Amino acid sequence: MKIIKLDFLDDLLLKEQMSLIYSGVVNAFSSTILLEDSLQKNDEKNIFIVKDVPGYLHTRIHPSYKVKKAFMYHGYSINLGKYKNFEEYLVKRFSSKRRSKHKTLKKRLELCFNVQYKMYFGSMEKKEYDFLFDQLRLMIKRRFTLKKMKHSGWEKLDYYHNMIYLRIIEKKASIFVIYHDRKPISISINLIEEDIYSGFMMAFDVDFSKFYLGFINILKQLEWCFENKFKLFDMMKGDLAYKMVFTDEKYYYQSQIVFPSKNQISRIVANFLVLKVKLYYRSLHLLKKLKLHLIYRRLKISFYGLLNQKALANVQGEFMVKNIPKINSMSKLVKISIEDDGYMDLRKPIYDFLYSSSENINDIEVFESIDGTSYLVKGKNKNILLNAKLK
């Protein structure tokens, strides 16, 4: 007898091998059948621990098995079937002030940069796919280095890279990208199963953080989902503030312990395993209620800093910003391009300047002082001086 651990997301949505134990999986919101397999597979000796089963999916196991369930944590979703269209969703979900702010953010991004939105679904060049996945990896690495944290899915990125391209071609996954010219600045990988659209992984260029790319990204995808008749937009697990803004449904993820019904030893082991899972997550919920997880998080950040001192030494440079109403002389300045990697630290403060001054990136010029410690950003209507802070 073996204990086999499965991740519901990976093994159902990516590998589709869950028919070993499940005879059916149904979306409770729309009654859409996601998996149906009446043939009993010949594996009745092992116990399966299936984690991260979304509560909105009703699972049915093969007759020779029994299942015990334990709640893990919350997931968040949008029941698209409640609304006639995207516009009705916006009106019912957000105040007029909030809707106006969303429009302003999108207009500001499009004013400051040469923006294109692209959904890859059903067809995509492999070369572009590989390029975007590499960019996604770089965005995740840089953002989490700045946060002094480790990304929970980092070790699986190669696995996902190998698996998802074929699913895009089969219309079982998609990639949504926001480009500035040909440069991706926000990338979202999504899994698709019938009428369920799952926001699987999203990353953005932190230099554009002033523009709330995550909000723009989600709203553009929601619009696409309404146009393509999806019934559920799943934002998945994670108690993150932005999910509360968009979602209208909350559900529990389950851990399901599936075991052979006629094997008494398996039943005893299954009872022990489900008790272990319940105790673990109840303890976790108690720690969060007492806010002790914040102490644990601070310790993790400190520990990360000790282990990654070299990487942290090369993080984003900081600058003091000074408004310059009038430029007296430019004789000791050299024009530069922030597209050169040697000047990448300048991008965030300059993009922040574009946001606050409503300037387009094509209308500014950047100059470096001879000693390389200060930079003049010359816009159409405003100018700023950036002085490098010592690290």
Domains of the chain: 3-73+252-289 (no CATH), 77-249 (3.40.630.30), 319-388 (no CATH)
Q: Which long-range contacts (CB under 8 A, 24 or more apart) does 34-43 make?
A: 34/193, 34/194, 34/196, 40/64
Q: Hey, is 338 helix, strand or coil?
A: coil
CB 140 within 8 A of CB 156: no
CB 36 within 8 A of CB 18: no
Mean pLDDT for back-to-back runs of 10 residues, the chain (391 residues): 84 64 86 76 78 91 91 94 96 95 95 97 97 95 79 82 94 97 96 92 94 96 97 91 92 93 90 93 82 60 51 61 82 89 92 95 93 90 85 51
The single-letter DSSP state of residue 236 is E
Element holding 13 (H helix, E strand): none
CB 389 within 8 A of CB 318: yes
Look up the pTM and report it: 0.87
**Packing angle, helices 292-307 and 264-289, rounded to 10:** 90
For position 312, what pLDDT does the model report?
41
| CB within 8 Å of 338: residues ≥ 6 apart | 344, 346, 347, 350, 366
For position 304, what pLDDT does the model report?
47
From the list 82, 81, 208, 184, the residue with the least C-alpha distance to 133 is 184
Sort residue 250 into left (φ over 0), alpha (ψ -120 to 50) or beta.
beta
CB 78 within 8 A of CB 88: no
- CA 245/CA 101 separation, integer angstroms: 13
Sort residue 229 into left (φ over 0), alpha (ψ -120 to 50) or beta.
left
